[in-house]
Amino acid sequence: MSVKFITIEGIDGCGKSTQSLRIAEWLEERTGCKTVRTFEPGGWPDGKTLRDFILDSKSYSAMSELLLFLADRSEHVNRVILPSLRQGFNVICERYNESTLAYQSGGHKLNFSQVKRIIRACNFPEPDIKIFLDIPPEIAVERIKSRGNKSDKFEEEGLPLLKHVSETYRRIADDEPERFIRVPCGELNEDEVCAEILSRLEAVT
């Protein structure tokens, strides 16, 4: 099996980090190659400062928010993702271009086509496989509350934001079914979600 670049998408509370770890373990066992797990925003050396600003500051416009996410992605791609792929490592990234489309367009109402054109102009590498954890927003909100952690600016917007974001994610996945592994995971536990993902991955790798 060749080196793979896989992204995991979905609204807050869908289980991206949990499934990322389990997929990475499966990939390493299947391929014998190291798998790099990373995330956005801030998943690059010195990226925490920009991540904290993006997630905590409420003082900038939706367009500035978009450009901050893309600046973060540019550093992430060039410092982590591309170097890892060139070394022959698999890469699993929690959030990528589809998160930007879903949150900045669906959630914060920037024009969908315009956001898509701006992302395309950045010429970021395209994932081989995109996993979409499709969870009902109501369940996601309960999971977020149960963590007991300090909420970031997106989590504070709560159910109304997640409903819009979720609808946009589904639109994106519907437009590109051949590139997405879409897992409806509202009624499945994490083991069942993982089994579904791995079964689908095995069929396409």
What string of H, E and C letters represents the secondary structure of the chain? CCCCEEEEECCCCCCHHHHHHHHHHHHHHHHCCCEEEEECCCCCCCCHHHHHHHHHCCCCCHHHHHHHHHHHHHHHHHHHHHHHHHCCCEEEEECCHHHHHHHHHHHCCCCHHHHHHHHHHCCCCCCCEEEEEECCHHHHHHHHHHHCCCCCHHHHCHHHHHHHHHHHHHHHHHHCCCCEEEEECCCCCHHHHHHHHHHHHHHHC
What pLDDT, on a 0 to 100 scale, did the predictor assign at position 185? 87
- Comparing 68 with 145, which gets the higher pLDDT? 68
Mean pLDDT, the chain, rounded, equals: 92
What pLDDT, on a 0 to 100 scale, did the predictor assign at position 66? 96
What pLDDT, on a 0 to 100 scale, did the predictor assign at position 187? 82
Nearest-5° Cα angle at 61, 174 to 105? 5
Domain at 17, CATH number: 3.40.50.300
- The answer to whether 96 touches 10, Cβ cutoff 8 Å, is no
Where in the sequence is the domain holding 27, given as residue range(s)?
Answer: 5-204
> pLDDT at residue 108 above 80?
yes
Instruction: Tell me what percent of the residues of the chain surpass a pLDDT of 70.
Output: 99
Average pLDDT estimate for 132-142: 93
b/e per residue 2-26 (b: at least 16 CB within 10 A): ebbbbbbbbbbbbbbeebbebbbeb
| Total domains present in the chain | 1
- Comparing 127 with 186, which gets the higher pLDDT? 127
Q: Which sign, positive or negative, has the C-alpha torsion 183, 188, 189, 191?
A: negative
> pLDDT at residue 203 above 90?
no
> pLDDT at residue 204 above 80?
no
In angstroms, the CA 159 to CA 144 distance is 11
How does pLDDT run across 149-200, given as a tens digit for each residue?
677 788 788 889 999 999 999 999 999 888 899 999 888 899 999 999 999 9
Average pLDDT estimate for 8-33: 93
pTM of the model: 0.93
What pLDDT, on a 0 to 100 scale, did the predictor assign at position 1? 63
- Comparing 143 with 77, which gets the higher pLDDT? 77
How does pLDDT run across 36-47, given as a tens digit for each residue?
999 999 999 999
Average pLDDT estimate for 56-64: 87
Nearest-5° Cα angle at 184, 181 to 189? 110
